[in-house]
Homo-oligomer: A and B are copies of this chain.
Amino acid sequence: MNDFQALLRKRRSIREFQDREVPLELVREIIRETCLAPSAMNGQPWRFSIVTNREKIRQLSDESKSNLLSDLQADPSSPIKRYEDMLRNPGFNVFYNAPCVVYLCGPSGLGSLDVDCSLAACYFMFAAAARNLGTCWIGLGAHLRDSAILKDLGITGDLQIVAPIIVGYPKAIPEASERSEPVILGILQ
């Protein structure tokens, strides 16, 4: 149990990485462990696409930024507004220059998709932390529409991206962030 608590402290959202590649075999190991996650009716709907090419990662960042900015233009009251300055900064990479991005996705119409892929994402992040890798779920990185880009990733039209996760060796592992006290609404004994 102490080991789990150590792992809990190690699993932090990491946005600064060493200049060191992540071996593809390690990513495959993490994905194998990810597939042990539970899913609604054991549907295992998760699919994975792996990017370790830094130039491609930059292009994926640019594609997502540009789509977010057009969404903001279409709906200026969108919550994306708070990211506008970052998104307009050409130097800003939504993936924080991580050496690896893994997309977790699954069938668009599936009611349990968000839940199933979030459970898998949690497994992914722990399995990476157990290997001293840092991760962060990058919501801003999910907005891909260009069909050539999606085809490159193997993400066909029937699939939806739930979790883009960056992976790399952390520059540092920050202290556990502040958490609010648990809110326990009721206890029926």
* Interface of A toward B, CB cutoff 8 Å: 1, 3-5, 7-8, 11, 13, 24, 28, 31-38, 40, 42, 44, 46-53, 56, 105, 114-115, 118-119, 121-123, 125-127, 130-131, 137, 139, 152-156, 159, 162, 176-177, 179-180, 182-189
Contacts and interface: CB of A to CB of B under 8 A. Distances in A.
Nearest to A102: B184
A125 B143 CA distance: 30
Interface of A is mostly: mixed
B8 A44 contact: no
A51 B188 contact: yes
A48 to B, nearest CB: 5
A37 B122 contact: yes
Nearest to A9: B36
B122 A48 contact: no
A48 B183 CA distance: 6
Contacts of A152: 186, 188
A2 B166 CA distance: 23
A179 B117 CA distance: 15
A164 to B, nearest CB: 13
A161 B156 CA distance: 32
Contact of A7 (B4, B38, B119, B187): B4
